[in-house]
Amino acid sequence: MNLNCDAALDLITLYLDGALSASTRAAVREHLRSCPACRRHYQQYAHTAKLAVRKPEPVKNIDLTDGYGTLSRKLKKQHSLRVGFLAGCAFVTLAAVAVSFLRGKKGRFGG
């Protein structure tokens, strides 16, 4: 199977996803080997895809030697920090909305 550049570029994302049949995959690979322009596109796609699906940081050093109570306390602390951060973000957003609302009101009613 010979692919032209348009077909190869259309198939690059499917190629990266592993969604192509073996023969189509081989045709794309062959085209990328022989076509520097498409190979460059492929490398950019691959780089972007790698960034987009970066895995979340794994939880490290889970250790139950101190007992489950310690782990549980650590997880609860982490959770409350996250909730606190989200609450802080919500508060800042609400404050910004309230300030702009009050300013608008003041302007409209000549205050």
Q: Contact residues for Zn ion (CB under 5 A)?
A: 5, 35, 38
Q: How far is the CB of 21 from Zn ion (least distance, A)?
A: 20
Q: Closest distance between Zn ion and the C-beta of residue 35, in Å?
A: 3
Measured between alpha carbons, how far is 104 from 111 in angstroms, rounded to an integer? 10
CA 1, distance to chain mean position in Å, is 35
| H-helix segments, 53-67 | none
User: Whose Cβ is closer to Zn ion: residue 2's or residue 21's?
Assistant: 2
CB of 39 to Zn ion, least distance (A): 8
Nearest CB to Zn ion, comparing residues 27 and 38: 38
* Contact of 82 with 74, CB cutoff 8 Å: no
